[in-house]
Chains A and B, each alone.
Chain A
C-alpha cells in the first residue's frame, strides 16, 4: 500500500517536471509560430530588397539588412582578434595566480553588464570622446565590447579541447611555445573559436539597447557603398522592429511589416546559430577520427 502511494507520488512529481519542460517548449513554439504565421505573408523579394517608402508604411527593409551586416562586420573585426588573443594568453601562457583570477573576474563581470550600460559607455567613449560620431563604426565597436566576454569564453573552450599531448609533442621536439601554439594548437582550435564567434555575433545582431545612442537611425536610405563609409548612420533590423512596433504613427497599418521584420531577424539569428552548431558538429566528428 505504502509502495503504491510512493509510486503515485513519484508519478505526480515527474508529471509536474515534465509539464514545466513542456511549458518552456510551448513558449518557444508559440513565439515562432506567431511570428512565422503572420510574418511570412509580407515576405517577398520586394520586401527584402527595397527601401521603405511613404513614411515607412510600404516598401522593404533592405537598408536595415545592409546596416546590420556592416555593423556585424565591424563587430567581428574588433572583437574576434582581441577575444582570441586573450583566450590564448589565459589558456596557453598565463600561470594560475592573482592576475589570471583578476582577468577572469573581469570577463565574467563584463558578461553581466547590462546592454544599455554598454550603450552609455559606447556613446560616451566612441561617439563623444573619440569623436567617431553617430556611425556604423561606433556601433560596431560598442557591440564588439559587448561580445568580447563571449568570444573569449568560446575561444578558451576551443583551446581547452585540444589535447595536452599535441602541445607536448611539439615542445619535446624543441619547438618554442609560440611555434607550438601556431602549428599544433591553433589549427585544431580555430573551428571551435569560429563556432563561438558566430554564436556571439548572432546575439549581437539582435541587440537593440546598446545601439540606440551610437548611430542607428529611424530612416536612413543611403546605403554604404564601396569604398565603405563607416562614419555614416545606418538602419538596423532590431531597431527597425522596435520603431515599427512602438514609435510609428500608423502602428496598426505597419503591423504586418513589423511581423515581417521580426521574421527576418529571427530567421537570420537561427540561421547563424545553425551554421555555428554545424561547424562544431563537423569539427567534433573530424576530431574523433584523428
Chain B
C-alpha cells in the first residue's frame, strides 16, 4: 500500500467517526427533546389525577366523621348551628339537578332548532351573522350573566308571578340556559352538518320536502352528536357557579317548586369556604361537595365523549 492511500484511509476513518459521533449526539438530543415533550404531555393526566386525589384527601376525613348516610341522604345543611351541626347535602344536590333540568328544558329545544337552522336552512350570509353571535354569547362571563339575572330577570319574574323577589330556581334555570346554549348550538350544528349529503339527497329524490328530510332523516342521523352536545351543556350547567350564586336566592332547603329560592352545590362552596376553619369538618365537607361535583361532571362528560367517539367512527 502506498503512503498516500494510507493517509486517505485514515482521513476517511476520522471523518466517519466524527459523523458517527455527531449522529449519536443528535440522536441523544432528539431523545431528550422527545422525553421533554412527553413529560409535558403527561401533565394533563397529572393535573386530573391531582384534582381527584386532593379533593378526596381533603374531604374524606369529614365524610368519615359525618357518615355516608347522613351526608348524602339528609337534606339538613347547617354547619354553623350552635346546637347541633348538620351536614346533609341532599337539598343542594336536588337544587343543582332541578336548576340544571330547568335550563335544559329551555336550552335543548332552542339550541337544536337554532343548530338545525344554521346547518340546514340559513343562507351563508345569515350564518356569518349568527355564528359570531353564538361565539360572543359563549364569551360573556358568567358573572355578567348573573348580573343581568339580578337586575333584569329577577324583577321581571317577580312581576310575572307576583312573588316578593325573583331570585329563584326559575331565574337560575333561565340564566343557565343562556350559558349552555352556545355549547349545544355549536356541537349540534357540527353533528348536523356532518350528516352525509347522500342521506339528504336520497330523501329529497324520493319526493320529501326539505322540512321532512330535516326532521326524519338529517336530525335522526345526527342524534348521537346532538345528545353529546346536550350532555356537554348539562355538564356546564351543573358546574356553573356565579350565575346561580347571584340569581337563585341561596336558601338552603329542599325546593318544592321553581319559584322558590334554591342553593346549589357550587353556590354553597362559593359562599362558605371563606368562612370556614382550615382543616375543620365544615371546611372538609365543602371539599366533599367539590368531589361529588367533580364525579358528576366527570361522568356526564364521559358519556358525551363515548357518544361522540362512536358517532365519529360511524361517520368515517
Contact = CB atoms under 8 A, between A and B. Distances in A.
A28 B137 contact: yes
Contacts of A106: 44-45, 47-48
Contacts of A281: none
Contacts of A148: 43-44, 47
B44 A21 contact: no
Contacts of A273: 135-136, 139
B305 interface: yes
B151 interface: yes
Nearest to B231: A112
A42 to B, nearest CB: 14
Contact of B50 (A103, A112, A125, A203): A125
B308 to A, nearest CB: 9
A278 interface: no
Contacts of A6: 209, 211-212
Given A116-B270, A212-B270, A207 B139 contact: no
A120 B290 contact: yes
A216 B33 CA distance: 38
A94 to B, nearest CB: 7
Contact of A121 (B51, B113, B209): B51
Interface residues of B, number: 87
Most chain A C-beta atoms within 10 Å of own C-beta, residue among B58, B143, B214: B143
A288 to B, nearest CB: 18
A115 B211 CA distance: 40
Given A93-B37, A103-B42, A202-B139, A120 B114 contact: no
Most chain B beta-carbon contacts within 10 A, residue among A103, A115, A209, A255: A209
Interface string A182-212: 0000000000000000000011011111001
Given A124-B54, A128-B278, A24 B185 contact: yes
B interface secondary structure, majority: helix
A169 interface: no
B252 to A, nearest CB: 16
B238 interface: yes
Interface string B125-155: 0100110011111011111111110111000
B55 A269 contact: no
B253 interface: no
Given A17-B121, A112-B297, A120-B286, A176 B152 contact: no
A128 B278 CA distance: 9
A262 interface: yes
Nearest to A88: B37
Contacts of B41: 85-86, 89-90, 94, 103
Interface string B101-118: 000000001100110111
B290 A116 contact: yes
Contacts of B193: none
Most A C-beta atoms less than 10 A away, residue of B134, B211, B274? B211
Given A24-B137, A113-B51, A208-B142, A176 B211 contact: no
A114 B297 contact: yes
A287 interface: no
Interface in A240-258: 241-242, 245-246, 255, 258
Interface stretch (A7-15, A52-60, A160-168, A227-235): A7-15
A82 interface: yes
B166 interface: no
A235 B294 CA distance: 28
Interface string B81-94: 00000000000000
Interface in B14-63: 26, 29-30, 33-34, 36-38, 40-45, 47-48, 50-51, 54-55, 58
A270 B208 CA distance: 43
Nearest to B239: A114
Contacts of A110: 44, 47-48
Contact of A245 (B151, B210, B302): B151
A123 interface: yes
Nearest to B167: A246
Given A16-B113, A120-B287, A27 B178 contact: yes
Contacts of A246: 150, 245-246
Closest CB pairs A-B (n = 8): A114-B239, A206-B141, A20-B113, A89-B41, A85-B40, A10-B211, A209-B241, A112-B301
Given A17-B114, A114-B239, A120-B286, 10 more contacts: A23-B110, A24-B134, A25-B130, A35-B144, A92-B37, A94-B38, A116-B269, A209-B245, A245-B147, A246-B245
